[in-house]
Chains A and B, each alone.
Chain A
Amino acid sequence: MSDLLTTSAIGTRQVRLDGPDKVRGRAPYAYEHPVDDPLYLYPLQAQIARGRTANIDTSAAEAVDGVVHVLTHDNAPELHSTEDGELAILRSPEIGFRGQYLGGVIATTPEQARHAAGLVIISYVEDDHDVELREDHPASRTPESGGGDVTVGDVDSALAEADVRVDQRYSTPMEHNNPMEPHTTIARWDRGELTLWTSTQGVHPTRSTLAPILGLEPDRIHIVSPHVGGGFGSKGVPHADMMLAALAAEAVPGRPVKYAVTRQQMFSITGYRAPTLQHIRLGARADGTITAFTFDAVSMSSQTKEFPEEATKPARMMYAGDNRRLTQRVVPLDVPVPSWMRAPGEAPGMVGLEIAMDELAVATGIDPIELRVRNDPDTDPDTGMPFNQRRLVDCLREGAERFGWDRRSAQPRSRRENGWLIGLGVASSTYPAGRQPGSVARIRRTSDCYEVAIGAADLGTGTWTALTQVAADCLQVPIDQVELQIGDTDLPNATVAGGSTGLASWSAAVIAATENFRAEHGTDPATGAQSQGEAQANPAAEKFALHSFGAHFAEVRIHAATGEIRVNRMFGMFSAGRIVNPRTARSQFIGGMTMGLGMALHEKGELDPRFGHVVNHDFAEYHVPVNADITDIEAAWLDEDDPLAGPLGARGIGEIGIVGAAAALANAAYNATGVRVRDLPLFGDAFLPQ
């Protein structure tokens, strides 16, 4: 294990280095990169959920002024691998979900492309479709990937013998990532080389995924993505939109093709959080000690490509309990392909688990914080390994103090002000502290600074700033002596900004590169001196269960007569290792909490089973939170570092803010009203008489 870095820039509240360029409009997002003589793409999408096209008549579209080409499965360029069902587009007339790409129109202006797309006449042979998730669905199966089932002890006997039992079903709906910047790509093929100006959470992983499908050596693909307007997982892997842009560009070699996914297209093309059904049973002794624990989760997946939204994941390690059974199933349906959405697995899984814990607290008459303290395990229940720093109890206790938990009455419906019922709730949070091997950083001394180059990504999270701070401290120079370069496959390889691993993984490369640089060039290097270093896997992961923890607190009000639910306060207390930049870190924490607020109160893709698509597919109908929904939101963290996480001492913070936040709000709503809502979101109607 390396020693912790000596910090100078790390831990200071740096403003975003990319901020001034962004507010001046000088930071180019994918669609804004200047290119000569571009063409524009507008897609054709299936209007049935299952079946095939009988005929695609493109003649009227081709006759439109400005239309250069209409792409369909009949004329689409060859693919060299069709293993990935989501990316193997335009291979056949077959349709696996409503909204699936059937082609695209390429024209001189975006208006011409869109107009002409509307003139393409598609006839279908329609098969019966099935888009309805249910627990007893005959197609339910164990997912091909994921952690697998857990069986420890004898849960049935333990449940039978328990003093207190909770046996309930919970659900989370279809949720959509919807970053502010839609998925956008400019693609250009030129003499066998493909350039993609795109919006991605990882230029190198995206290239590795696309290269074999397009039949290109990776070094023939150049991906540029210096600024990303939000991803939340939806830009973690390339989706079909990037493939469509690439194929369109291949059809018109030499010409850049621009494609910005519309908000409505995002609901079927760019991934989403699959809905989950969770059956949880807890058995406990009268003192709250959990003796039996079962968690059976079923999540929706797609016939086109499997993605397990593994709701059982956090339950593997969260609480003690001698007898445990966890099962995870997926039901592949005729629906769009689900994908990563901020804390996949943990975010929905901690909804059911943390509401169930609140129900156990009610059933045992024990304070919800004390109940969690009593069930805090000494070692990881999943692996048996010791934890790095399991400071959940510290987060709960310190958070309770700061939030004013002592003002909560355990009796629901006991606080009413001016027609509003007010309640307080708590929930735990957790997220793995991962670090990925393989990132490479290159450091070069120039005449006036140190260039630090790595193909990392900044999704608006603060990478430009935080990684500069890390590099400055590694080199022991002021941050203005560091010139960071990220977001380009011409830079050394970097792993994805996903799973809260970005900064920890890239920093490991920067630290390694600095060590090599100093070893090779000393402290007074000549101009042009240059070294590389590669991030290794974290050896501590072999011996320790590495996780972050947190505690969410919420105060909600619900109008007794109208059911309206609004939030007075949310407070998150986190243990996430060393915080590199308190300013951008706070933004990430409260950003995650805000997304948890949306998950709790608003977000639900309304998948109409008759048609097979999400019908509330725009920002007027699919609600995300607004400022007026909440009066006060704040995050704080324990002052700590974590040597087991690596020399930086930091764990990732991109996801932990959302995990548990929705449950804290649901638990507060119960405390306010006495109404237990087990299905998200918490629409006001749940609190009205039926």
Chain B
Amino acid sequence: MNPFDYERATDTAEAVAVLTQRPDAVFLAGGTNLVDHLKLGVTEPGLVVDINRLDLAHVEELDGAGLRIGAMVRNSDAAADPRVRRDYPMLSRALLSGASGQLRNAATMGGNLLQRTRCVYFQDTSTPCNKREPGSGCSAIGGYTRYHAILGASPDCVATHPSDMAVALAALDAVVVVLGPRGQRRIPISELHRLPGDHPEQDTVLEHGDLITALELPPPRRGRSTYRKIRDRASYAFALVSVAAMVDVDDSGPKPVIREAAIALGGVAHKPWRAGAAEAVLRGAEPNQETFLRAADAELEAAEPVEGNRFKVVMARGAITTVLTELTGAPETEPDENLEDAHE
């Protein structure tokens, strides 16, 4: 661990100003990711600016419905907020499926969005990594890729974004409020995180000095929603694949029809993956297994798994259809359809 200076910010504008003047400074919020990185040598800032005293820990209702969640609200508090639980249950579930109780008590909403990949090579300074050290190479390709991307990756980086919360926010069309050196701006969640391309060192579109101050959720939409996380261990494990989904079915006609759907996938890409192709298939279609499979396949057609994570395409397909089945109450897949072909 490198020696560093420490300052406690008391004012958001001042915090941004301090960072702007110091290229080697970082914000410290919950510390659940940054402190690990300090110990591991993944990051070596010269100055740590503690923003825990900033007045950014409120949940407020917005005019015209919707919710604003302050960036310093702890994950546990957001998950337990009655308005979040009532109007955005998908978000509450996503938050509660992340990390452990202790970590959720410390982790903040803004920090959760900006946590970095858990790619084992990124976290290990003894192995090359383009994200940590641009140009050094990607060790994951040809290595341990179980938690790596199958969508939107590049030859330079196959890392995934580890957040559960962000996946729900993507499906909810949340907006990220940012205070930067040039004032405040509002960024749709889908535009916050980047795909790796040839600059995997840039996780997001934020620039040095930008401070997330709040998340804004649009008014709750009609329909049923959930968050389903597929993981090797039942708690305290990152997603292999996760699905945040909202489906609104119109039951008024002779046949039920999907009026609206929103789906985002986690564990599969460098960013929370909004499944637009799947949504397009679902809109206007009858909710049944055939539709769900077509929707999943439409999204996963673009999948480019690497050696060691090909199973995730099939797993994502199963996760999407399972979630859609649960949300629409459509009859289940014929028993064993998924498995029997391969094994019997």
Residue B339 contacts which of A114, A617, A675 (CB distance < 8 angstroms)? A675
Docked complex Cα distance between A307 and B32 (Å): 39
B142 to chain A, nearest CB (A): 7
Assess the A689–B341 pair: CB atoms within 8 A. Answer: yes
B5 at the interface (CB under 8 A from A): no
Residue numbers in A under 8 Å from B139 (CB-CB): 608, 610-611
Q: Do residues A688 and B336 form an inter-chain contact, with CB atoms below 8 A? A: no
Contact between A615 and B121 (Cβ–Cβ < 8 Å)? Answer: yes
Taking a contact as CB atoms under 8 Å apart, the answer to whether A47 and B126 are in contact is yes
A606 close to B144 (CB less than 8 A): yes
Q: For the complex, what is the distance from the CA of A615 to the CA of B129, rounded to whole Å?
A: 13
A673 contacts partner chain B, Cβ-Cβ < 8 Å: yes
CB neighbours (8 Å) of B342 from chain A are 688-690
Cβ-defined contact, B144 with A615, below 8 A: yes
- Identify which of residues 321-344 in chain B touch chain A, using a CB-to-CB cut-off of 8 Å: 321-322, 332-333, 335-336, 338-339, 341-344
Write the nearest CB–CB distance from B263 to chain A, whole angstroms: 16
Can you list 14 pairs linking A and B with CB atoms under 8 Å apart? Answer: A114-B1, A115-B3, A416-B335, A419-B322, A560-B333, A562-B315, A562-B322, A608-B127, A615-B127, A620-B118, A628-B235, A629-B235, A674-B344, A690-B342
Partner of A561 from B120, B143, B240, B318 at Cβ < 8 Å: B318
A357-404 contacts to B, CB under 8 A, are none
Q: What 0/1 pattern do residues 230 to 253 of B give for CB contact below 8 A with A?
A: 111111111011000000000000
Q: Are B144 and A616 in contact (CB under 8 A)?
A: yes
Name which of A114, A559, A626, A688 has the most chain B CB atoms within 10 A of its CB. A688
Chain A residues with Cβ under 8 A from B142's Cβ?
610
A602 in complex: contacting residue of B233, B338, B341, CB < 8 Å: B233
Contact across chains for B338 and A623 when beta carbons are under 8 A apart? no
Instruction: List residues of A whose CB falls within 8 A of some B CB.
Output: 47, 111, 114-115, 118, 413, 416, 419, 421, 559-564, 566, 601-602, 606, 608, 610-611, 613, 615-617, 620-621, 623, 625-629, 673-675, 683-685, 687-690
Which residues on the B side are within 8 Å of A687 (C-beta)?
339
State whether B230 touches A689 (Cβ < 8 A).
no
Task: Give the bracket for the number of chain B residues in contact with chain A.
Answer: 35 or more
Q: How far is the CA of A297 from the CA of B265 in the complex (A)?
A: 43
Chain B positions within 8 Å of A601 at CB level: 232-233
Are A413 and B336 closer than 8 Å at their CB atoms?
yes
State whether A684 touches B335 (Cβ < 8 A).
Answer: no
Name 5 extra pairs, CB < 8 A, besides A47-B126, A562-B318: A566-B234, A623-B233, A674-B343, A684-B230, A688-B338
Bound CA–CA A664/B333 (angstroms) = 29
CA distance in complex: A685, B230 (Å): 11
Contacting residue for A626 out of B3, B233, B319, B341, CB 8 A = B233
What is the minimal beta-carbon distance from A359 to any residue of chain B, in angstroms?
Answer: 15
The reply to whether A608 and B318 contact each other, CB–CB distance below 8 Å, is: no
Minimal beta-carbon separation of B342 from chain A (angstroms): 4
How distant is B18 from chain A, measured CB to nearest CB, in Å?
24
What's the minimum C-beta distance from A51 to chain B, rounded to whole angstroms? 15
- Nearest Cβ distance between residue A620 and chain B, in whole angstroms? 7
Residues from chain A with a CB closer than 8 A to the CB of B333 are 560-561
Asked whether A685 and B315 contact (CB < 8 A) given A615-B144, A674-B344, the answer is: yes
How does the 8 Å CB contact mask read for B116-144 relative to A, with 1 for contact and 0 for none? 00101100101100000000000100111
**Is the Cβ of A673 less than 8 Å from the Cβ of B339?**
yes
A143 to chain B, nearest CB (A): 29
CB distance from A420 to the nearest CB of B (A): 11
B234 partner residues in chain A, CB cutoff 8 A: 566, 626, 628-629
A673→B240 CA distance, assembly (Å):
21
Q: A560-B336, A620-B118, A674-B344 are in contact. Are A688 and B315 (CB under 8 A)?
A: yes
- Determine the distance from Cα of A687 to Cα of B127 in the docked complex, in whole angstroms: 32
Give the docked Cα–Cα distance between A561 and B236 (Å): 22
Complex alpha-carbon distance, A413 and B238, angstroms: 29
CB contacts (< 8 Å) of A606 on chain B: these are 120, 144
Say whether, besides A615-B124, A623-B237, A683 and B338 are in contact (CB < 8 Å): no
Is A115 a contact partner of B336 (Cβ separation < 8 A)?
no
Contacts of A47 in B (CB 8 A): 126
**B102 interface contact, C-beta 8 A:** no
- B232, B236, B240 pick with most chain A CB within 10 angstroms: B232
Mark contacts of B85-101 with chain A using CB atoms, 8 A cut-off: 1 yes-contact digit, 0 otherwise: 00000000000000000
A690 to B321, CA, bound (A): 17
- A678 CB → nearest B CB, Å: 14
10 A-B pairs with least C-beta separation: A561-B318, A685-B311, A689-B342, A628-B234, A628-B235, A615-B120, A562-B318, A606-B144, A623-B233, A688-B314
Q: Give the docked Cα–Cα distance between A626 and B101 (Å).
A: 13
Known A-B contacts A623-B233, A629-B234; A563 and B318 likewise in contact (beta carbons under 8 Å): yes
Q: A562 is contacted by which of B118, B120, B319, B344 (Cβ under 8 Å)?
A: B319
Given A118, A621, A689, which contacts B120 in the complex, CB threshold below 8 Å? A621
Q: Quick check: is B41 within 8 A (CB to CB) of the other chain?
A: yes
Neighbouring A residues of B344 by C-beta, 8 Å: 674
A615 to B342, CA, bound (A): 31
Partner of B143, one of A413, A421, A610, A627: A610
Min CB–CB distance B123 → chain A (angstroms): 8
* Cα–Cα distance between A688 and B316 once the two chains are bound (Å): 11
Q: How far is the CA of A416 from the CA of B230 in the complex (A)?
A: 19
Shortest distance from the beta carbon of B181 to any chain A beta carbon, whole Å: 31
Nearest chain-B residue to A118 (Cβ)? Answer: B41
| Cα of A560 to Cα of B341 in the assembled complex, Å | 12
Q: Which residues of A contact B3 (CB under 8 A)?
A: 115
Closest to B314 in A: A688
Give B126's nearest chain A residue, CB to CB.
A47
Q: Please encode chain B, from 147 to 191, with 1 for each CB lying within 8 Å of some chain A CB and 0 for all others.
A: 000000000000000000000000000000000000000000000
The answer to whether A615 and B143 have CB atoms under 8 Å apart is: yes
Inter-chain CA distance A220–B231, complex, in Å, is: 52
Q: For the complex, what is the distance from the CA of A620 to the CA of B147, rounded to whole Å?
A: 12
Known: A47-B126, A628-B235, A684-B315. A561 touches B321 (CB 8 A): yes
Residues of B with C-beta under 8 A to A616: 120, 144
Taking a contact as CB atoms closer than 8 A, the residue among A118, A602, A675 that contacts B343 in the complex is A675
Contact partners of B118 in chain A: CB under 8 A:
620-621
For B214-236 the 0/1 string (1 means CB < 8 A from A) is 00000000000000001111111
Residues from chain B with Cβ under 8 Å of A421 in the complex: 339
Known A114-B1, A419-B322; contact A626-B339, beta-carbon cutoff 8 A? no
Report the separation of the CA atoms of residues A688 and B314 in the bound assembly, to the nearest whole angstrom: 7
- The answer to whether B144 touches A563, judged by C-beta atoms less than 8 angstroms apart, is no
Q: How far is the CB of B8 from chain A (nearest CB, A)?
A: 20
- Complex: how many Å from CA A602 to CA B231? 11
Least distance between A444 CB and chain B CB atoms (Å): 46
How far does the Cβ of B111 sit from chain A's closest Cβ, in whole Å?
16
Name the residue on A nearest B319 (C-beta). Answer: A562
If the complex has contacts A115-B1, A688-B318, are A564 and B144 also in contact, measured as CB distance less than 8 A? no
Cβ–Cβ contact A689 & B335, under 8 A: no
Q: How far is the CA of A419 from the CA of B314 in the complex (A)?
A: 16
With a cutoff of 8 Å between Cβ atoms, the chain A residues found around residue B41 in the complex are 118
Establish whether residues A559 and B2, one from each chain, have CB atoms under 8 Å apart when the complex forms.
Answer: no
- B127 proximity list for chain A (CB < 8 A): 608, 611, 615
What residues on A are CB-neighbors of B1 within 8 Å?
111, 114-115, 118
Q: Is the CB of B120 within 8 A of A560?
A: no
B314 touches A689 (CB 8 A): yes
Whole-angstrom CA separation of A610 from B124 in the bound complex = 14
A560 and B143 contact, Cβ closer than 8 Å, known pairs A674-B344, A689-B342:
no
B96 to chain A, nearest CB (A): 12
